[in-house]
Amino acid sequence: MRPPIPTLSRLARLALCALPLLAALWLPIPAWAADPATATAAAAKTVLVVGDSLSAEYGIARGTGWVPLLGARLTQRYPNYHLVNASISGDTTRGGLARLPALLVRDKPAVVVLELGANDALRGLSLDATEQNLRAMTRRCRQAGARVLIVGMQIPPNYGRDYAQRFMHVFPDVASSEHAALVPFLLEGIAADRDLFQADGLHPVASAQPRLMKNVWKALEPLLQAP
């Protein structure tokens, strides 16, 4: 006995049920789903360091400074992040503020590390201006959607005790009021050891760089984990 021939209405119902499956089969596959390398690149986030000679490897071999060491740790522990070092020897907070807008557009960072201010103090510049510049940089970073880490510095009292005290407080004051993370003192743990500095007494030697990296990493890692 031959099986019954499906009626037109039954065939129509079967066709309608099959349409979603056929549509799904014909949907184009995104390029990033087919290429794992492209998917990784698409998900990559940038940590941007804007600093001065302390971040620009002044007087030491390339690749031995705390910023490249930080980049290596990022690659190892947070491979979805990569680091861009936009530090320039001799830069001040004023110079950093002038450079920042173009950097934010170019790199679209998720996190910005601001390591500036030491040269302001060494030149005896107005600390009110230093604070205003740091505050403006922090706000611009946040407006661009980036989290901010401010790296604090200190200077010896021979620059004037009152000036040194005011300078030291600039960084935590800005970080607190602008809701930024803070490294209290970049040179913590090495500042009192003369052997860990170059002949100028200002720039740490290569062997001191891992300690600087750890000082920054402690404050940076929570920003990497934030949603």
Mean pLDDT of all residues in 126-145: 98
**Residue 31 falls inside a structural domain:** no
Beta strands in the chain (DSSP E): 45-51, 81-85, 111-115, 147-151, 181-183
Q: How confident is the model at residue 4 (pLDDT cuts 50, 70, 90)?
A: low
Asked if pLDDT for residue 18 goes beyond 80, the answer is no
**Residue 142 falls inside a structural domain:** yes
**Residue 145 falls inside a structural domain:** yes
Catalytic residue, candidates 9, 162, 195, 200: 200
Question: What's the pLDDT tens digit per position in 164-205?
Answer: 999 999 999 999 999 999 999 999 999 999 999 999 999 999
Provide the 10 A C-beta neighbour count for residue 44: 12
Residue predicted with more confidence, 18 or 208? 208
Catalytic residue, candidates 52, 179, 203, 207: 203
Write down the pLDDT at residue 157.
87
Residue predicted with more confidence, 14 or 61? 61
Residue predicted with more confidence, 127 or 226? 127
Mean pLDDT of all residues in 20-28: 40
Question: What's the pLDDT tens digit per position in 35-63?
Answer: 544 444 446 899 999 999 999 999 999 99
**Residue 217 falls inside a structural domain:** yes
Write down the pLDDT at residue 10.
53
What range does the domain containing 61 cover?
39-225
Question: What's the pLDDT tens digit per position in 206-226?
Answer: 999 999 999 999 999 999 998
Question: What's the pLDDT tens digit per position in 52-94?
Answer: 999 999 999 999 999 999 999 999 999 999 999 999 999 999 9
Beta strands in 33-158 (DSSP E): 45-51, 81-85, 111-115, 147-151
Please tell me the distance from the alpha carbon of residue 174 to that of residue 21, in angstroms, as a whole number: 57
Write down the pLDDT at residue 212.
98
**Residue 103 falls inside a structural domain:** yes
**Residue 21 falls inside a structural domain:** no
Active site residue 162: no
Q: How many residues does the chain have?
A: 227
Q: Rounded to 5 degrees, what angle do the CA atoms 145, 150, 154 make?
A: 170
Q: Percent of the chain scored above 70 by pLDDT?
A: 81
Please tell me the distance from the alpha carbon of residue 152 to that of residue 186, in angstroms, as a whole number: 6
Please tell me the distance from the alpha carbon of residue 149 to that of residue 218, in angstroms, as a whole number: 11
Q: How many structural domains are present in the chain?
A: 1
Active site residue 203: yes
Asked if pLDDT for residue 103 goes beyond 90, the answer is yes
Mean pLDDT of all residues in 134-138: 98
**Residue 201 falls inside a structural domain:** yes
CATH code of the domain in which 189 resides: 3.40.50.1110
Catalytic residue, candidates 52, 53, 91, 120: 53
Active site residue 55: no
Please tell me the distance from the alpha carbon of residue 178 to that of residue 58, in angstroms, as a whole number: 30
